[in-house]
Amino acid sequence: MKYASGKEQVPSTNRPRPDEAEEEWLVRVAELASGDAGGVAADLLGEYLPMLAAAATSGTFPGRAQINAVRLQGRRAAERRVSVGRGVNLYLSAARRVWAELPAVVRERDNKAVRAAASAVLQVVEDAVASFAEGHAEAGREMIRREETLRRELVDDLLRGDARLSELAQRAEPFGLDLSRAHQVALAQPGERIPSISASSTALERVVLNRFGDRDVLVATKEGMVVVVALAEATGATGAGVAPTGDLGKVIHGELSRLRHGSPWRVAVGRAHPGAYGIARSYEEAREGLTMANRMHVETPVVETKDLLAYRVLARDQPALVDLIDSVLSPLGAARGGAAPLVQTLAAYFDSGGVATAAASKLHLSVRAVTYRLDRVKALTGFDPIDPAHRFTLQAAVLGATLLGWPEHPLPDAT
């Protein structure tokens, strides 16, 4: 029977059991090795020390089953959150202690026997450490996959807000979330498709954790976007209302903008709300913010809920909004080229503060063309864009048209 090294090995079943004195010696070695490794539990050595002792005293090499048993110790170390470096340090310290404290009978051998014993011990150390590291890596990969699954499921339930509160609180605790406190949610959306949204999430997680602390922060991906749940106190948010949402959006956008792929990014941040269901509420605000910002062609890369409150008010009563658009803007459909150019001109005119020259520059038209279109709006609708008394009605109707995608898309049923 040969081992991986090609050396003859004595089957482990033929190895004599250690006597009481040898057992005491190995126990002492295990305790010393544990101290050398900074307190790593000695039970992670398993049957490693008897294997070393057998190799040193009788040239016995372990069988495959014994090496696989060391692999299991590596898995146990990973499950206990003992790093592979500390575990290997434990094994190397144990080997050094075994060799340094071998019984006197070994030291009395001739040089040839001592070299053979040393070779056998080194072979056992090499194979055992390799097996330990492999087991640790396997368990680590499994734990990462399991944690990612749990994280994804937790994020989905938190953002939906339909799970039982007690169950959510229990599942959130291992991830450092205290659901009794106020949190806010930020969504980051890439301007173009990127190879891996997970890579962006990983890079962002390090920055967010360093900036806002290693607790009450959760970074995940959902529907092609990066989701960040953060404690309101850490981000500088002041809670529900129209107050600023703190530094969270700026930090997220700044970090994502440094990545090679996916730029430009748009970040929307919901307001801070307390409790588990507050996370779902903040998420809905952030998602609505992204939708409205895209629909309204908002150029700001970081969108706060307070910036979109007027749009939310308009969108909240859709039948009234449809009635406003139909009553005020539908006559523009009689113009040559349809309503779209005139609505676009009105939007640019209002965005430019009612300055025709600025609107013309934005539309790449002459000032004369802009004023002509404004006159056509007045003639067709009866509302004068230049008259302050009419301007509010026209602007509200234009904003509503942009929200509903009119005139590119037909208006929904107002009933």
Q: Tell me: the pLDDT tens digits for 26-38?
A: 888 888 888 988 8
Structural domain harbouring 44: 12-141
Beta bridge mates, 225: 222
Position 415 scores a pLDDT of: 57
DSSP 214: S
Q: Tell me which of 295, 311, 327 is where a domain ends.
A: 311
Does 322 share its domain with 289?
no
Position 413 scores a pLDDT of: 78
Where helices occur in 161-275 by DSSP H, the ranges are 165-172, 197-212, 232-235, 248-256
Q: Give the CATH number, domain containing residue 385.
A: 1.10.10.2840
Tell me whether residue 95 is in a domain: yes
Mean pLDDT of 60-82: 88
Position 167 scores a pLDDT of: 82
Q: Is the pTM above the cut of 0.75?
A: no
Does 119 share its domain with 193?
no
Dist. CA 254–CA 203, nearest whole Å: 12
Give me the half-sphere count of Cα atoms (radius 13 Å) on the Cβ side of residue 90.
28
Average pLDDT, the chain: 82
Dist. CA 146–CA 176, nearest whole Å: 17
Does 304 share its domain with 182?
yes
Which DSSP helix (H) or strand (E) runs through 344?
A: helix 340-351
Q: How many residues does the chain have?
A: 415
Tell me whether residue 391 is in a domain: yes
Give 285-335 pLDDT, tens digit per residue.
999 888 888 887 777 889 887 777 777 788 788 888 899 999 999 999 999
Position 10 scores a pLDDT of: 39
Does 69 share its domain with 29?
yes
Which DSSP helix (H) or strand (E) runs through 229?
A: strand 225-231
Position 67 scores a pLDDT of: 87
Tell me whether residue 1 is in a domain: no
Dist. CA 12–CA 48, nearest whole Å: 13
Which DSSP helix (H) or strand (E) runs through 186?
A: strand 182-190
Does 236 share its domain with 271?
yes
Q: What angle do CA 153, 154, 155 make, to 5 degrees?
A: 95
| Tally of domains within the chain | 3
Mean pLDDT of 18-30: 73
Indicate if the pLDDT at residue 238 is higher than 80. Answer: no
Does 116 share its domain with 221?
no
Position 19 scores a pLDDT of: 57
**pLDDT-wise least confident of 25-39, 190-204, 263-277:** 190-204
Strands 302-304, 265-269: parallel, antiparallel or unpaired by DSSP?
parallel
Position 174 scores a pLDDT of: 81
Residue 106's pLDDT band, with cuts at 50, 70 and 90, is low
Does 270 share its domain with 179?
yes
Q: Are 365 and 344 in contact (CB under 8 A)?
A: no
Position 239 scores a pLDDT of: 53
Does 304 share its domain with 183?
yes
How much is the CA Rg of the chain, to the nearest whole Å? 35
Does 219 share its domain with 264?
yes
CB atoms within 10 A of CB 324: 19
**pLDDT-wise least confident of 13-27, 163-177, 367-381:** 13-27
Does 370 share its domain with 386?
yes
Mean pLDDT of 107-117: 67
Which DSSP helix (H) or strand (E) runs through 78?
A: helix 64-79
Q: Give the CATH number, domain containing residue 181.
A: 3.30.70.2730
Position 364 scores a pLDDT of: 93
Does 250 share its domain with 307?
yes
Does 40 share its domain with 136?
yes
Q: Which amino acid is at 391?
A: R
Query: What does the H/E/C string look like for 346-382?
Result: HHHHHHCCCCHHHHHHHHCCCHHHHHHHHHHHHHHHC
